[in-house]
Amino acid sequence: MNFSIRQLFNEFLQKDQILTGSDLDTRYHHIWHMDQSLQAACLLLPESTKEVSMIMKQCDKHQLTVVVHGGLTNLVGSTETQEDEVVISLERMNRIVQTDTSSRTMEVEAGVILEHIQDKAEENQLLFPLNFGAKGSAQIGGIISTNAGGLRVLKYGMTRQLILGLEVVLADGRIISSLKKIIKDNSGYDLKQLFIGSEGTLGIVTKAMLKLEEAPKSRNAAYVGFDAFAKVVHFLKYMDGQLAGQLSGFELIWKNTYQQMTSTSDAVRPPLPYDYNYYVLVESMGADQIKDQQSFEFLLEKALESDMILDAVMAQSPSDVEWFFRIREDVNNLVDFMTHDQHFDISLPIPLIGEYIADRYERLKEIDGVEQVYAFGHVADGNIHFMIGKENTSADLKKAIDHCIYDGLKAIGGSVSAEHGIGVHKKEYLQICRTTEEIQLMKQVKNMMDPKGLLNPGKIF
């Protein structure tokens, strides 16, 4: 088997680009499962779009199924593999091809890590606004394939709003390339949108043209305490209105989650005492640090005087801002204290968040085997994350927790996935947020673009 697999690819790949047998022992399918060796027929390490194309032509000819690996931070099983599958890792396609400061664009290969993109943009006084906790390992190809969200969706939108063009290899090896730098292009179907969020089931993203923003000159942040969810919503509308487009982040953390997030070390010490039911991390970005800081502080003082909020502490330096965001981003402070963990990223209408989450807290506590329940999220875009600590990994316990989190979403027009995708773990719940007709159309698109079912089989459907 190893010999025949190598023979398929060694005409155009070097020996160190083809891993088989014991070479796979140190590879894995997720950064949280590094102790589990990768199950695959082989792992290939292409260094160009052309090589990805040649790989797919061979896989198409011999009907070999393919799973693409990026930074391996996916949370719904989209990078899980079988022993007979070919894994394509894009880690060597990690070049930033060009940064154009005039058009405010950056051309990158799929294996570039998000933090490296952010750093390169900053070097050029620009901003790539996508931001989340896994920025130090997540690769842009995977980010695009899952349409990742993060901490600044409120101001800048999801990944799809930040992509101007893509280069993609189809299941049969054809290359579809449109890396234009223009924002407006209304010439027929916007084909790139097919691949953004499709979790590698329609094509392999190999390059992208990213949309950058001018770097902000100011950044302010604060933690704010509340006793009622209705006041959180009121404060969101107040800050968004008064900051006139500068509001860039509005993160909600439930009390018990805040306590755990801020109790593990001095690096994440609590900015506010444990006296409130809800904590909001609010961020603004602007053009004048002194004036913007004064305005931000004035708005907080006014909110305190009117009893809109109970307490607030404002960052007084860039290091304070980093400290505030470290608390929210480091979810390992939750995971590390769980026997086993289960993750959710649901979407629901903003006014219903408080009641829905409170009800889930109570119902989850009644499930035998549930040890911890933590909620937090990007409340300004209706995306709430749950992290559930549990005593075992049994299928029955997993299903009971899934049912508890999801069973009320259809009635209120919610979604089982805000930003993580469907993958393997959520596909049986897809009908909660998609109609039968929508799912049928998705399958038709899949069958048309990948008739042999080679790309990421068993994911989404």
- Per-residue confidence band for 4, with pLDDT thresholds at 50, 70 and 90: confident
Describe the crossing of helices 2-9 and 49-62 by its angle, rounded to 10 degrees.
130
223 to each of 188, 271, 455, how far by Cα in Å? Answer: 46, 7, 44
Domain boundaries of the chain, sorted by first residue: 2-89, 96-214, 218-328, 338-421
pLDDT at 246 over 90: yes
Q: Give me 411's structure tokens.
A: 């009635």
- Per-residue confidence band for 151, with pLDDT thresholds at 50, 70 and 90: confident
CB 165 within 8 Å of CB 98: no
For the domain covering 338-421, report its CATH number: 3.30.70.2740
DSSP string, 286-354: ES-HHHHHHHHHHHHHHHHHTTS-SEEEE--SHHHHHHHHHHHH-THHHHTT-SEEEEEEEE--GGGHH
Integer distance in angstroms from the first to the last C-alpha of the chain?
Answer: 29
- Dihedral in degrees, nearest 10, Cα atoms 118, 124, 128, 132: 20
pLDDT at 203: 98
Distance CA 79, CA 194 (A): 19
Distance CA 381, CA 379 (A): 5
pLDDT at 1 over 70: no
Q: What's the average model confidence in pLDDT over 268-280?
A: 97
pLDDT at 6: 87
pLDDT at 233 over 60: yes
Lowest mean pLDDT among 73-82, 220-229, 232-241, 257-266: 73-82
pLDDT at 3 over 70: no
CB 64 within 8 Å of CB 7: no
Q: Give me 326's structure tokens.
A: 């470290």
Q: Burial-class residue 287 by CB neighbours within 10 Å (0-12, 13-18, 19+).
A: exposed
pLDDT 10s digits, 282-319:
999 999 999 999 999 999 999 999 999 999 999 999 99
pLDDT 10s digits, 90-117:
999 999 999 999 999 999 999 999 999 9
The fold of the 96-214 domain, in CATH, is: 3.30.465
At a CB cut-off of 8 Å and minimum separation 6, what does 402 contact?
429
pLDDT 10s digits, 367-426:
999 999 999 999 999 999 999 999 999 999 999 999 999 999 999 999 999 998 999 999
**Domains 2-89 and 218-328 alike in fold:** no
- Per-residue confidence band for 132, with pLDDT thresholds at 50, 70 and 90: confident
Number of H helices, E strands in the chain: 14, 18
CB 129 within 8 Å of CB 159: no
pLDDT at 460 over 50: yes
Q: What's the average model confidence in pLDDT over 207-236?
A: 97
pLDDT at 35 over 90: no
Distance CA 387, CA 370 (A): 11
Distance CA 366, CA 215 (A): 48
- Per-residue confidence band for 2, with pLDDT thresholds at 50, 70 and 90: low
State percent of the chain over pLDDT 90.
Answer: 90
Q: What's the average model confidence in pLDDT over 68-92?
A: 92
pLDDT at 73: 87
Distance CA 261, CA 282 (A): 17
CB 166 within 8 Å of CB 205: yes
451 to each of 104, 200, 436, 445, 461, how far by Cα in Å? Answer: 38, 14, 21, 9, 14
Q: Give me 190's structure tokens.
A: 């916007």
pLDDT at 89 over 90: yes
Q: What's the average model confidence in pLDDT over 332-351?
A: 95
- Per-residue confidence band for 169, with pLDDT thresholds at 50, 70 and 90: very high
pLDDT 10s digits, 412-429:
999 999 998 999 999 999
The fold of the 218-328 domain, in CATH, is: Alpha-Beta Plaits (3.30.70)
- Per-residue confidence band for 77, with pLDDT thresholds at 50, 70 and 90: confident
CATH class, range 2-89 = alpha beta
Beta strands 247-254 and 278-286: pairing type? antiparallel
Considering the chain, what is the average pLDDT of its residues? 95
**Residue (of 412, 355, 435, 420) closest to 383 by Cα position:** 420
Sheet harboring 311-314: ordered strands across? 311-314, 218-226, 278-286, 247-254, 370-378, 383-390, 340-347
**Residue (of 141, 135, 54) closest to 91 by Cα position:** 141
